[in-house]
Amino acid sequence: MRPDVGVIGGMGPDAAILFLHTLTGMTKVASDQDHLDVELLQHCSIPDRTAYILDHTQPNPVVPILDDVRELNRRQVQVIAIPCNTAHFFFDEISAASEAPVLNMIDLTAAHVAELVPPGSSVGVLGTRGTISSGLYQHALEAVGLHALNPSEAVQHDVDTLIFDQVKANQPLDRDLYMSVLERTMQAGAQIALIGCTELSVPEHAFAHDYASVDALDVLARATIVRAGGTLKL
């Protein structure tokens, strides 16, 4: 059996599960058999990405990620998706190691945001300190004529709490804290909030709100379905 999609997950597990849930929910089907065949490598033991990006003496997560890339290629998947924004710090290395195309969630999301707001708009990027400090979205947004607005230290602190102390720690999600993060991002001048961490996609999917936002996880799910030959449920 040649699977349509390979997913490198576990970074963290809830994010990968939400990605699969979004993928199946966005696929037009009448029965099980119309869904894409997916293989998920949910290796939660992959070392923390942010810890390594901020301190290169920490264990390097790209080592097990490259093992997973080779495994999915051995299984002859048609396309690889990695529902972890921070892991895209290693994108060039990952892509070079893969025969199957690897979708770039960062570039796909920047291109999608450029369809939603006027050129020159400020985009409030919300993500881990690893994603922010590496300038992943800053570079991608500049390339499409947009301006990345990084979080203040106070907002980043609350983003860290949501990501590490709530989603990754299997604790209840604080709706008010998430709304406050979005509110302060807009107050700082963002025309739109970019949910640039798949852990933040968890509260983003759980809580309805009226802030303008785009979720990188949703962009990746849509792109995955189209590239793997599935039909989008529009």
The contact set with its own copies (CB under 8 A) reads: 1, 3, 10-14, 17, 20-21, 24-25, 27-48, 64, 67, 71, 75, 164, 168-170, 233
CB of 201 to its own copies, least distance (A): 14
Q: How far is the CB of 185 from its own copies (least distance, A)?
A: 25
Least distance (Å) between residue 210 CB and its own copies = 23
- Nearer residue to its own copies within complex by CB, 44 or 226: 44
Catalytic residue among 7, 110, 132, 197: 197
Question: What separation in angstroms does the CA of 61 have from each of 1, 5, 105, 142?
Answer: 29, 22, 18, 27
Closest CB to its own copies among 118 and 172? 172
- In this structure, the dihedral spanned by the alpha carbons of residues 226, 102, 124 and 51, taken in order and rounded to 10 degrees, is 150
- Backbone φ, ψ for residue 148 (5° rounding): -85, 130
**Which C-beta is closer to its own copies: that of 164 or that of 211?**
164
The closest alpha carbon to 218, from 11, 210, 226, belongs to 226
* 93: phi then psi, degrees, rounded to nearest 5: -65, -45
Tell me whether residue 44 is one of the annotated catalytic residues.
no
Question: Least distance (Å) from its own copies to the CB of residue 44?
Answer: 4
CA distance 84 to 73: 19
CB closer to its own copies out of 1 and 56? 1
Among residues 23, 26, 38, 84, the one annotated as catalytic is 84
Give the nearer residue to its own copies in terms of CB position, either 32 or 55: 32
Q: How far is the CB of 71 from its own copies (least distance, A)?
A: 8
Catalytic center residues: 84, 197
